[in-house]
Structure 1
Amino acid sequence: MITLQPIGWVRGGRSDPVDDHWGSEQARIELDPRFPESALYGLDSFSHAEVIFFFHKVTEEKIETGARHPRGNTDWPLAGIFAQRGKNRPNRLGLCTCSILGVSGRTVTVGGLDAIDGTPVLDIKPVMREFLPRGSIRQPEWAGALMKDYW
């Protein structure tokens, strides 16, 4: 058993988990009071952060463990839950690379975070180019179609 405690929560932005048009969203990540302001020192010198969060609105009965058509679109092939980024994942973990718009006190303002108001945040990591993929990235055609309007 793994036990995690949120380091903070998403405040603002969307209240409904609609699939598309996340690029213009702005939200704040407010740290839990157990963390001092110094936990965010230096984060504002990075342009982007990876935010790991918990899909808290996904109920147990909605969790997928096998294959499904992404977004229920039967024009796209069956894809296993680990071959897509849907929210109905076994551990309900989300990951998003978003822009850092500002840091003030124990709050980070971000752009393009695809998490809704009240979402528990499990970790924040700065994006460093050395951790980005080396070489070209490959993906199936359906993934590009699915993401066409996501941001």
Structure 2
Amino acid sequence: MPEEKSPEEVVSVPVGRVVGGRGEVLDDDWGKETAVIRLDSDRFGPEALAGLDAFSHLEVVYHFDRVPVEKVETGARHPRGNADWPLVGIFAQRGKNRPNRIGVSRCRLLRTDGLDLHVQGLDAVDGTPVLDIKPYMAEFGPQGPTHQPAWATEIMRDYY
């Protein structure tokens, strides 16, 4: 029997923060929201963004820093607390109350300006720590047909 290890701690230092855009966490209507992702000037220069403006979209990894640790979910729940939707595990939904409070979003890159990335449709609020930024490449999207349950389509209807 393998020896049981204690959980390994992973430390991430934000590469920047969300500036502007929405100031409060709301569930829907993110599509028209615009914001700036401002890189940390102590760690990065403009060369870190060289070539990024050739891409139309980004994948942004960020920390749900406004979710209190005591609100983190590790089991099953009804998405958005709606009893009309099925009880599903935290890993079968995209809610913010995740075990590591990590968010991933795809958004449109409008332009770069020095260390600022002007974006649209980023579902993170003003002040959110950004952990990583990657250009979206279609080849990293799903290969072949995808499917999802009806409740997932319903929950996302007004998200963007």
TM-score > 0.5 by shorter chain = yes
The residue type equivalent to 1:48 in the other structure is: H
Describe how 1:34-53 pairs up with structure 2 within 5 A.
34-53=43-62
Describe how 1:85-104 pairs up with structure 2 within 5 A.
85-104=94-113
Q: What CA distance in whole angstroms lies between the structure 2 residues aligned with 1:81 and 1:32? A: 32
Matched, 1:112 2:121: yes
* 1:25-48 per-position Cα deviation (integer Å, ceiling 9, x unaligned): 000000001111100011100000
Matched, 1:19 2:27: yes
Matched, 1:8 2:16: yes
TM-fit CA distance, 1:112: 0.0
The residue type equivalent to 2:33 in the other structure is: E
Gap regions ≥5 residues in structure 2: 1-8
Q: TM-score, normalised on structure 2? A: 0.93
TM-fit CA distance, 1:140: 0.3
Quick one: percent identity of the two aligned structures?
59
In the TM superposition, structure 1's runs of 4+ consecutive aligned residues that sit over 4 Å from their partners are none
Residue of structure 2 in register with 1:131 after alignment: 140
TM-fit CA distance, 1:130: 1.0
**3-state SS, counterpart of residue 74 of structure 1:** coil
Residue of structure 1 in register with 2:89 after alignment: 80
Q: What CA distance in whole angstroms lies between the structure 1 residues aligned with 2:11 and 2:81? A: 32
Q: What CA distance in whole angstroms lies between the structure 1 residues aligned with 2:48 and 2:127? A: 21
Q: Please give the root-mean-square deviation of Cα atoms over the aligned residues, in Å.
A: 0.5
Q: What CA distance in whole angstroms lies between the structure 1 residues aligned with 2:155 and 2:82? A: 10
* 1:100-146 per-position Cα deviation (integer Å, ceiling 9, x unaligned): 00001011000000000000000000011111111111100000000
The residue type equivalent to 1:117 in the other structure is: D
Q: What CA distance in whole angstroms lies between the structure 1 residues aligned with 2:154 and 2:100? A: 26
How many pairs align?
A: 151
**3-state SS, counterpart of residue 130 of structure 2:** strand
Q: What CA distance in whole angstroms lies between the structure 2 residues aligned with 1:73 and 1:10? A: 29
Q: TM-score, normalised on structure 1? A: 0.99
Gap regions ≥5 residues in structure 1: none
Bigger radius of gyration among the two: 2
